[in-house]
Every structure is written in C-alpha cells, then in structure tokens.
Structure 1
Amino acid sequence: MRLLPSTLLIALLTSSAAMAAPSGISPSIETMKEVVKEISSDAYEGRAPGTVGEEKTLSYLVQRFAALGLKPGNKGSWFQDVPLVEIAAKDVSPLRFTGGKAPVSAVYGPQMVIATYRTAQPHIEVKDSPVVFVGYGINAPEKKWNDYAGVDVRGKTVIILVNDPDYQTPGRSGPFNGRAMTYYGRWTYKFEEAARQGAAAAIIVHDTVPAAYGWNVVQSSWTGAQHVADHGDGNAKQSAAIGWMQKDKAAALLASAGLNLNSLSAAAKKRGFKAVPLKGVRANVSFDNIVRKHQSKNVVALLPGKTRPDEYVLYAAHWDHLGRCEAAPDGDDICNGAIDNATGTAALVALAEANVKAGPAARSQVFLAVTAEESGLLGSAYYGNHPVFPLGQTVGGVNMDALGMAGRAKNVVVIGKGKSQLDAYLDRALAAQKRVASLEPTPEKGFYYRSDHFSFAKHGVPMLYFEGGQDLVRGGPAAGAAAAREYEEHRYHGPKDEYDPKWDWSGVKDDLKLYYDVGRALADTTAWPNWTPGDEFRAIRDKSRAGR
C-alpha cells in the first residue's frame, strides 16, 4: 500500500469533507471579562492550590459551568482530586561555600533560592558537600552527550547552567535543536537528572537571557510555599536541596576555586565536556520545612456529544497562580495572575458557553481547568497519568495560557508549529480572519515545555497551543515585542499582573474565535489528527490508537 505524503494528508484533513468551515458563532468577550475580573480579584488571594483562593475558584467555576447546563465530568463529580504536598521553607540559612581562596555566601531571596522535593523531612541540611560544576547537567544517550560522564556526584552539590548548550546558535540546527530549547534545557529536567545521579543538592545558575526571565521571577516563584506531587514515598530519591543562585555569585564561587565561569560555560557547550570538581570547596545550607498534604482539584465539565459521545475533545487551562508572593514596593503581596492564567480560565467558560449555544457537537467536549501548573504542570500531569476519559479516545484539543492584551495582530505564534496535524485546523480558522501562523520568535525560552499541553503530548494526545501574535495591526512587530517585554519584565509572576479595565480585548476576541473554530471542527470531524511523521510523540499516539 502506497503511503500518502504528509502534505497530501494535511490537505485531505483540511478538505470540506473532513473539517467544517469556521462558524458564525463568536464566544463572548463580556463573559471573559466577568470571569477574569472575578477570579483575579484580591478576594481570591492569588488562587494558590490548597488555600481559600482555590475553594473560591472551584466554587465559582462549578457555578458557571452548571448554569450553562454542562455535566459533571468525573463520574458525577465536577472534580478530579490531585494529591499534593505543600512545602514552605523557613529559617533558611545562607548558602555558604568554604574551602576556596575566599568564602562565598549567598542570601536567601535576593541572591539565591532553595527548596526541596522531599516531603517527609521537616529539616534539610546539606553539610560540607563537595561541589562539582557539571555544565548543562545533561545526560542524553541518544545525542551522545553526558555531562556526568566520569564523575561520581553522589552526596555532592552540582552547579548547573540553564538552557541547552546550543541556545545561542542561530536557527534550529545543532545537537539540541539550536536556538529552540529542548526539554533538556528546562530546570525541571536538570533537577530530575541531578537526583538520578545521586546529587545531594542541585543549584542552577541564573542568567536572564537563557533563563528567559529575570531574577525577580525566580525570587517571586520560589520563595513562597511550593507544591509537589504526592507520590507516597516522600520523594526520598530526590536531591535534598534544589535551587537557583545569581550569576555573579556563581562566578565568585568558581573564582574561589581558581576557575572562570565564562571559560567553563564556553567549554560546556562542546560535546565531550568533562565535569569539573571545585577542589576543596564545600557547600552548606539548611532550612526547616512546614509540610502539609492536601487534595487539590482539577475541574472537569462535560458537554456530551450527540452522535459519538465516547470520543472526546479537550479544552484545557490552568486555574491556579502563585497566591501570596514577594511583595511589590507598595506592599502588595498578592500575585493575582490576571493574565496568567485568569484569561485562559475565562476562555474555558466563554468557549463552553458558545458551544452550548451552538448545540452539542458530534463528539463530546471536555472543559478541563487544571491545578498546580505553576508548580510544574502537576494537575495536567496527574490527569495524563489518571485520565478521566481514555486517552486513546481523546481526539486532541487546545490549551490556553496567558492571553495577551496587546491588541489585534496579523498573526498568531504557534508553540511547537509543525509538530502535529492540528496546524491544519488552525490554518483554516486563520484564513477566515486573513491571518497567518508564525514560528516562535523566541524558541530559546522553551514555551513548549512550560504549559499544560506538554502533559497531554507526553501521552500522545495532540494539543494545540498558540499565543497572540506579535505583528500587531497597530505598530507591527516592534510594538508586539515591546508589549511582550513590558509584561515579562514588570508583571509576569508578580503582584502587578492585575485586571485592568483599560485593556484592549480586540486581539483576545480574535484568538478566542480561533480556539472555538478549531475545537468545534475537531468535535464535528470524523478525522483523528496525529503528530507529523517523525515527531517524538507519534509512536506514543500510534500505540494508544492501535486497533481502534
């Protein structure tokens, strides 16, 4: 049997026989405004899991979904319990390094942050731990790359560079996709690998460009209560301490051992790099933990399909944010998360409302508001491991995270463009608006691994995730880049991500219509879009769909 070229397959998918044309229905921006204003208010205290903010958010979402006539999606319940452990560090000592030419000390908050994944230890102490610089901290056998080769880091403290070795490479060619970050560049991976290697502590060197955010984001995100998944074993195999340190402190640390951070960073970019022990240098840090186990919740709302109710289309957004965080100069310590991600949560409600108005589609539609995205995609990861609806019967869907208020754009930025056949559905919806899909302008920031679509992709479910375009109708790419920079530097993960009645919703209105048209087309088609041939998730999807 002769296989169809992928281009022809996508053409078939976009034919009128496979995909309905965009409808005349537009989800309500007024509904979005109501929801964003409500759940990002100070009364919700930043929507941290396990707080009164969670209770209010869940109650409000259920009220909105029930009023629309949606059904509780989880066997008669609106909720899926997600077991979490909240860990709050207190009495944190400075991170001290001794034994070098001069002692180096970093203070908790402005110079370093520290935490643990271990949930059964009320006190953490790393004492006189030998220190090893391990470059980018990557062990990738398929790429013939191992920064831990030839070194035993059991019981030691590893110092790790952020991002991938080739993040400065123009284009996308290189051992780690060039400028486009891979999962090996994410801080989550680096801590996971350090634990597999037996490190007592793992400290990432913060550098604004490869990290994709300033130290203010690290400080606000890591100095409050942290949430980790409750695996039942106390996460005993994890490193005792994980954290970040400012680049100038890392440079001073290496200098105390007679080494140079810039020279070692350059060496670490090359295959065959060997980890460098800091001779005689020892790390010391201690802190107490306030540990609380609790059940957070994903919200699962269902609009049953009229002809194929056992096939499912997902709409996902995370409802959580950081709660109370590092205070702004004016004393405001509530990270309201209006953009991130009250907007995506509000889009769920508006999309549900529009689909109810249109009447049930052929397939069932699931509106999933997940918890603990800010803690490492924990809510969506739990759903992926414990799906309410079989993943092999889940067609695909859309993920919505932080819809921007920069105004109308000529494009959208697709995170992971070219990875799946869902691109064809978006292209058709974009054509109706006379807009185009663009590649990420900053692939080095690794957005593909930073939102909940990744949790579903790991299980083979194609998920579309795009952001508002930066080629603005008013001001073009320069204005779009400036708006993105302003949000990242002044409001992202900070107390000033608040609802603003002066926002320009015109771009959100256009993007919301795209989400509706893509989701509705998926819900009415008979097609099962897949990952493109050769994609990392294709084999997982093929296995889950085998025999169906």
Structure 2
Amino acid sequence: MASPINAQSADQSIEISADEITRTVRTMTLDQFEGRAPGTAGEDRTIGYLIGRFEALGLEPGGVDGTWTQAVPLLHTVLGEPEKLSISMNGETTNLNAGKDIYVSTLQPKDRAVVGDAEMVFVGYGVTAPERGWDDFKGVDLKGKVAVFLVNDPDFAASSQEDVAGEFAGRAMTYYGRWTYKFEEASRRGAVAALIIHETEAAGYGWNVIESPQGENYGTVSADGQMTSLALQGWISGSAAESLFDDAGLDLAKLRVAARTKGFKPVALGAEFSAAYPVKQSIVKSQNVFGKITGKARPDETIIFGAHWDAYGEGPPDENGNIYRSGANDDALGMAGIMEIARKFKSMEQPDRTIVIAAWAAEERGLLGSEVYAQSPVYPLETTVANLALDVLQTGGKAKDVILVGKGQGTLEDDLAKFAGLQGRVVTEESLPERGLFFRADHFSLAKRGVPVLLMMGLAGASDLVEGGRKAGQKWIDDYTGNCYHAACDAWSPDWDLAGAMQDINVMFDIGNSLAYSKQWPEWKKGSEFKELRDGSADARR
C-alpha cells in the first residue's frame, strides 16, 4: 500500500545543503583515502572519517552490538594462467583460448580450481519461476555437471506473437535474467561449473567488459563454511558457443527459440569440459558503517537510507597523473546525500520508526557489503519498512523529471511519483530497462529477501533538464560514462550543478519522512518476483 503524504511537517527543520554535500564529496575524494578500496589503509581512514561524521551528526551507533560497524570479510581470488582448458567431444579435444573463447573466475577458497571431464548440459535461460509456471530444468540432475545458459530472460528476444512475450517483463530485465541469478541457480543444483553464452545486446555490454577483471573475483565469506558448488563460473563467447553446438550437431539458433517456451527441456551436449587453474586467494577484511536515530513509538520498525562508501582504489595514472579512482559521484555524492538526510532528520521531532543510515562496503566488488548485511541483518528484514538507495546522482542541474528504476516492482514508485509531483516534476521510466540496473545496486541485496526498495540512480535515463532538456541530460550521461565512470576523473568539479541531485535527495527524504511517522508498509506489486517472499513474513508486521 502506498503511504499517504505525511502529516508530520518538516517546515521547521533545516534544509538539505549543497554546500554540505560539496564539503563531504571533496573530503571523501582526497588522496589520503587512496580511492577508498576495501581492505586497504584507505578503507581504515574512510571508516574513521565516517564514524566521526556520524557522531558529529548526532547519530547513535547502529552497527553490531552497539558499535558503529559490521564486519564484511571478503574472499578475494585471482586465477593464474590455465594449465588445462578444453572441451572434448566424440574422441576429439579442442583447446580453448582463455580470454578470447571463455572467461571464468572462482569463488571457492581453494588454491586450485579444477573441473575434470564434466558433462555439459544446455539449460536454456535456466529459470525456475513458480509464480510464472516456468521451470527450465524439468528435474534434470546437474550435480557435477557444467550448466550452459543463455543470457537475459526468456522473452528478451521474443516476437509479439510468441506465447512468452511479456511473461518476463518484455525488454525489461527481471532477476531471472541476471548472470548472478544463473550462477546461484547452478550452484543450488550442484553444478561444478556454469557458463553463460555471451550476446552483446542481451548482456548489455561487450566481451571487453566480460574479460576486464582478468580472472579476479570477490565474494562473501560464509560464517558456516558453506561455499558455492561452482569451481568455475563465467562466460563463453558467442562464436565459441556456436562452434560447440555445431560440433554437437545442434542448432543453437533453433534452441534459442525452443528455450522461449515452457516446454523446453535441458539438452545434453555430448561434450565434456575440463579446466585447471592455479588460484591466489586471500581474505580481505572490510566493514559496513551504520548510524541510527531510534524511533520513539515503534523502534523495531526500521527505514534504511543507504549508499556505498567504497570506490576503485589505485589504478594506472591518467593523463593528469592521477592514480586514485575516488568515485566522487559513484558514490561519495550518494554518501553525502544520506548524511544530509540524517542531518535533516536530527533537526526534527524524533521519528516514530527507527532511521538507519547505512554506508555499505564493497559495492563495486559485487554488492558484497549489503549482501553480508542481508545474510546477517542487524535489523530484522521482516520489519524493515523500506531501503532507499542513492547511487550516482546527476550533476547537470535541475530537472523536470525523476528517473524511475524498476517500474512495476513496488508501491514505493507510487510514492516517488507523488513527492516528485510536489516538486513540480514527473516520473520518467529508465531508458534501458533491459540492462537490469534495478539488480545492480546495494538495495537489491535486501530486495531479494523481500524488503521493499527504491533506487535513485542518475545513469538510468537521460533527465529532462531545465537547461537543455533531454538532449542535455543524455550528454551528461554520455560524458560521465564515456570518460569518468570508474576512472580517476570521477572527481569533484566546480562545474557540478547540484540542483538536480538536491531534488532527488529531497524526494528520497520526503518518502522516508512519510514512512517515519506512519504505520504504513510499502508493498511489492503483483507480478514482482519478490512479492511472495515479503508476503511470507506478513505476520511479523501485524
């Protein structure tokens, strides 16, 4: 149910300040923080800075056991050169080119990653979606085998005449289309390896992006010692996949069409995959940081405002000699936003519900800080009212609209439209929903456990800027993503116009404020893959 406009007035509170936001961003991008990479001296300084700022804002420690933090132990792995990498079929063995034909990594804490003569099985899109009556596996045993997947959803490439059209949100990606889901599903079924067939359009990026980590990966460290069944996970190039299926006497193009039907069954490829890699592994110690304002009436009900403190650390020098990739926009600006939201709440009457300000670790390594939290939450997920996330805000100036990420997921999007409307703005849907941005920021770790979420992300679509319209909004995205995204030039600039970012921060505050003094609970909408999870914990909210 969408929450009503809050009767609790914020008129007497302080205003969110562009000067304060600028001060925070400029501080967090100083060289002394070394690009804020997890597990470095730069992290230690960042954590100290954040705790100091949270204290100065008047927040209470909101972490584990009355502290400010939560430990985020990370497994870091790097594959060496393969000792063996091949596919055998009909008595013939074909060696694969690492990087060109196949890209893999591992999230097992072992010194070697080995797959020995494992049977390869094509599983289509690899979707198990009971709410859609969809099961690509049909009971086929994958234990010890290599699962080969198509990327994206079953309806991504479907024509309007096919029965599947629109079943998985059309061109918009559902979680079933994300590579993370496919690897998780393969592991749940005991596969020893998982390979996704790369297609640039369906993946949303080229092969150059696939291979850029160069065999490196990060994962969470399970407290109970459990680990993925996958010795290797990754991608096989489109051309290598075509050759594999041709050699097996199979028509991959026809199988793509068959995989878009509910009657699809896995297909054994009659091939065996073998690989052996040396692995360098280590445990990296990182931390989430939390501050809170305890609710006076219902303190066990929490509203989380989140952003990630980490960036990309040290890299090769750019043309100006800068080596630190400090993420001014991604996501020091988001961090500055949630600090200003905290400062505004502290100037108001104590909220009925608890406000949590969450600074997530290791987002750039795969949403890992928020994933650790979701696995071991400090605040029960069943009574977490909402998670409101800021990750990359546009700095091109005031906008006539606000960009919605994840249309149709939850009632918080109705709140977004309502409060944006009070600013005189309208909602514009993200321009490339097939890229699945909804699943690529920290809020998603909580979403897939059923917590209602809303993401504010300036990269999701071209804003209709007051000065220059949508053309200017697209130019801002193109300039940022084409030049500075995850690069050293993602730095504070005196050319930033924070008026649009301020609009977005204020909208997120208004949504949280409307919930902070309310008894309303945001919900997932019918058709969302997360609705059933949330509905299952309804008793905890009664």
Q: Could you state the TM-score of these two structures normalised by the residue count of structure 2?
A: 0.86
Alignment-mate amino acid for residue 310 of structure 2: D
1:374 partner SS: helix
Match of 2:523 in 1: 530
C-alpha displacement at 1:245, in angstroms? 3.2
C-alpha displacement at 1:400, in angstroms? 1.2
Counterparts of 2:408 and 2:86, CA distance in 1: 46
Contact 2:86 2:93 in 1 (8 A): no
Match of 1:195 in 2: 187
Match of 1:284 in 2: 274
Alignment-mate amino acid for residue 38 of structure 1: T
C-alpha displacement at 1:392, in angstroms? 4.2
Query: Against the structure 1 CA distance between its residues 528 and 92, is the aligned structure 2 distance closer, same or farther, given a 3 Å change threshold?
Result: same
Residue by residue, what CA displacement relative to the aligned partner does 1:330-388 show, whole Å, maximum 9, x if unpaired?
99775433332222222222222233344543433210112233344332233233332
After the TM superposition, which residues 315-326 of structure 1 pair with which residues of structure 2 at under 5 Å, given as runs? 315-323=305-313
Q: Is structure 2 residue 428 aligned with structure 1 residue 435?
A: no
Contact 2:78 2:280 in 1 (8 A): yes
Q: Is structure 2 residue 168 aligned with structure 1 residue 176?
A: yes
Contact 2:142 2:189 in 1 (8 A): yes
Counterparts of 1:36 and 1:145, CA distance in 2: 46
Residue by residue, what CA displacement relative to the aligned partner does 1:455-501 show, whole Å, maximum 9, x if unpaired?
32344432222334624223433443454355445544455544444
2:230 partner SS: coil
After the TM superposition, which residues 45-444 of structure 1 pair with which residues of structure 2 at under 5 Å, given as runs? 45-74=34-63, 75-93=65-83, 95-99=85-89, 103=94, 105-108=96-99, 112-119=102-109, 121-149=110-138, 151-169=140-158, 174-221=166-213, 223-235=215-227, 237-279=228-270, 281-306=271-296, 308-323=298-313, 335-358=325-348, 360-444=350-434
Match of 1:512 in 2: 505
Counterparts of 2:35 and 2:166, CA distance in 1: 40
Residue by residue, what CA displacement relative to the aligned partner does 1:519-543 show, whole Å, maximum 9, x if unpaired?
2222233433333466554454453
Query: Against the structure 1 CA distance between its residues 80 and 437, is the aligned structure 2 distance closer, same or farther, given a 3 Å change threshold?
Result: same
Query: Against the structure 1 CA distance between its residues 365 and 150, is the aligned structure 2 distance closer, same or farther, given a 3 Å change threshold?
Result: closer
Counterparts of 1:174 and 1:144, CA distance in 2: 14
Residue by residue, what CA displacement relative to the aligned partner does 1:153-185 show, whole Å, maximum 9, x if unpaired?
433333322111211358995232222212111
Contact 1:41 1:499 in 2 (8 A): no
Deviates more, 1:322-331 or 1:167-176: 322-331
C-alpha displacement at 1:437, in angstroms? 1.8
Query: Against the structure 1 CA distance between its residues 260 and 230, is the aligned structure 2 distance closer, same or farther, given a 3 Å change threshold?
Result: same
Counterparts of 1:107 and 1:512, CA distance in 2: 44
Alignment-mate amino acid for residue 196 of structure 2: I
Counterparts of 1:372 and 1:126, CA distance in 2: 29
Alignment-mate amino acid for residue 179 of structure 2: W
Residue by residue, what CA displacement relative to the aligned partner does 1:44-99 show, whole Å, maximum 9, x if unpaired?
34433222232222112112111222111134310012333222323345743344
Contact 2:105 2:216 in 1 (8 A): no
1:395 partner SS: strand
Residue by residue, what CA displacement relative to the aligned partner does 1:197-255 show, whole Å, maximum 9, x if unpaired?
332221122222221233343333464352333243251x5211011233333334434
Contact 1:306 1:361 in 2 (8 A): yes
Counterparts of 2:143 and 2:313, CA distance in 1: 35
1:347 partner SS: helix
Counterparts of 1:93 and 1:479, CA distance in 2: 51
Contact 1:91 1:287 in 2 (8 A): yes
Structure 1: unaligned runs, 5 residues or longer: 1-8
Match of 2:23 in 1: 34
Contact 1:192 1:238 in 2 (8 A): no
Q: Is structure 2 residue 405 aligned with structure 1 residue 448?
A: no
Aligned residues: 533
1:249 partner SS: helix
| Identity across the alignment (%) | 39
Backbone CA RMSD of aligned residues? 3.4
1:103 partner SS: strand
Contact 1:117 1:238 in 2 (8 A): no
Counterparts of 2:299 and 2:132, CA distance in 1: 43
Counterparts of 1:435 and 1:31, CA distance in 2: 24
Contact 1:224 1:326 in 2 (8 A): no
C-alpha displacement at 1:326, in angstroms? 8.5
Alignment-mate amino acid for residue 212 of structure 1: G
Counterparts of 1:150 and 1:234, CA distance in 2: 24
Match of 1:476 in 2: 469
Residue by residue, what CA displacement relative to the aligned partner does 1:289-337 show, whole Å, maximum 9, x if unpaired?
2222344211110123455544432111122234456898999775433
Contact 2:406 2:438 in 1 (8 A): yes
Query: Against the structure 1 CA distance between its residues 206 and 463, is the aligned structure 2 distance closer, same or farther, given a 3 Å change threshold?
Result: same
Counterparts of 1:440 and 1:310, CA distance in 2: 34
Contact 1:28 1:354 in 2 (8 A): no
C-alpha displacement at 1:43, in angstroms? 4.3
1:407 partner SS: coil
